[in-house]
Structure 1
């Protein structure tokens, strides 16, 4: 369970002195006209104080229009999708800021409104995330596979998984669902998952095919002798999700993403 601690901030009322002066008067000496005038002055003072907090410069407006978008730290697939989302948001006049978090924390923070959006998740989002709205343009068609470095394991069979030591990235929804009945070794990122396989701490790991290909390009994995097991463990599309307080942006985002993806084809 994740706990969020909020720091309370107390603001001193700049009109406290005026309020004290009015309340200190004795009822018998109160002049109705003077009281009405004092109330009028008080309201005018409040009106003059409030605009101080309004956005009056470009820097304030930029902060107001900044979207905080979470994504799974260490996910090379999602990192590849960030430029696409960045372009789409800027096209509709919003500056996105991308923040990496552990998978569970990122999703829950977006659902609770602590983040404005979640970069990418599967179409089968659990029902518990009731505050997230899907932007209905698939960003990527996803294939997830089991991988191993053991010569005697030649195919993926979910019925045989209980015989092996299995590793997964913590908080990845499709592997959580697939492996919910098993004891697994959980790590925080895909590169770490490959490392524990190389150290023979586990027999099988699960990962998006594209993420594994990117890891193979960036790191020397030949010594681990990783092989992909068929058939795929999971096939699905990846979508962008935003908090429902911003759902009025969905049509604009869908249009922008569709246009950008069409030009890529």
Structure 2
């Protein structure tokens, strides 16, 4: 008397009639099924063969904090990344063209211009946009349109504050802009809060000081090219988990509490 045995995707056959080929087929199918179940149960852990190339502006001071937050998120996901710095305008254009996999972080102001970049809709940091000058009363004594302004070239967020002015110097680095300010070649510079603190680590601050309250507090987001649409919900979920657990706040505290680190902005 033969005993029937159920096999995955194989009809019932007497056990003594199983061939070596059937045994190999059963093993293969079982392995395939387990692989499918693992991928279905654990979609948030992705094993990437090649690292993602993420770009950032080489002189974008606030992004140093974003680098630490984004790196921590991808490490938790098991996805390797490579970060490359280049001029801001070039980095966004390359990421949008699909020559890179995404941008470390950016504000929302350029989304209509570069629709191929998809926002991970969880703000990972905010920056304060400030006016700096050697004259603390510069905005009271002159009309803004009469001033010689300076801002970083390619910084679309900062451009929104100077688009209506004719006399705007586009600097390639913050030290260049602050140096011109100290020499009296510029009247005012628009820059993020962190920029002057990083500059002061390597240079004399001199007469430069903040003028007035922040012009705006702007949230920054991580961006991926649309070719990685499958990763967007996974990375978004990871950022949400990091916010809920306090990990992003911890990374911020460690960043601002480093020796000679930048001043931490006031918490709302």
Instruction: Please give the TM-score of this superposition, normalised by the length of structure 2.
Output: 0.69
Cα distance in structure 2, aligned partners of 1:94 and 1:151: 47
For 1:255, the equivalent position in structure 2 comes to 237
Distance 1:235 1:151, change over 3 A: closer
For 1:204, the equivalent position in structure 2 comes to 188
Return the structure number with greater relative CO, CA threshold 8 A, min gap 6.
1
For 2:31, the equivalent position in structure 1 comes to none
Distance 1:247 1:63, change over 3 A: closer
Aligned length: 200
Distance 1:263 1:80, change over 3 A: closer
For 1:229, the equivalent position in structure 2 comes to 211
For 1:243, the equivalent position in structure 2 comes to 225
For 1:178, the equivalent position in structure 2 comes to 161
Cα distance in structure 2, aligned partners of 1:136 and 1:105: 23
Cα distance in structure 2, aligned partners of 1:65 and 1:93: 12
Structure 2 unpaired stretches of 5+: 1-46, 250-268
Pairwise CA distance, 1:214: 3.0
Structure 2 counterparts to residues 37-186 of structure 1, below 5 A: 64-153=49-138, 160-183=143-166, 184-186=168-170
* Two-structure CA RMSD over aligned residues (Å): 2.2
**Does structure 2 conserve the Cα–Cα contact (< 8 Å) formed by 1:121 and 1:239?**
yes
**Does structure 2 conserve the Cα–Cα contact (< 8 Å) formed by 1:156 and 1:230?**
no
Cα shift readout 1:44-83 (whole Å, capped 9, x = no counterpart): xxxxxxxxxxxxxxxxxx9842111111112221022212
For 1:10, the equivalent position in structure 2 comes to none
Pairwise CA distance, 1:101: 1.1
2:199 to 215, 225, 228: 215
For 2:43, the equivalent position in structure 1 comes to none
Pairwise CA distance, 1:264: 4.2
Cα shift readout 1:83-111 (whole Å, capped 9, x = no counterpart): 22112112222211111111111111111
**Does structure 2 conserve the Cα–Cα contact (< 8 Å) formed by 1:155 and 1:229?**
no
For 2:257, the equivalent position in structure 1 comes to none
Pairwise CA distance, 1:156: 10
Cα distance in structure 2, aligned partners of 1:164 and 1:134: 35
For 2:34, the equivalent position in structure 1 comes to none
Tell me which stretches of 4 or more aligned residues in structure 1 moved more than 3 Å.
154-157
SS in 2 for 1:76: coil
**Does structure 2 conserve the Cα–Cα contact (< 8 Å) formed by 1:146 and 1:156?**
no
Instruction: Please give the TM-score of this superposition, normalised by the length of structure 1.
Output: 0.69
Cα shift readout 1:147-174 (whole Å, capped 9, x = no counterpart): 00125415699xx221111111001112
Pairwise CA distance, 1:115: 1.2
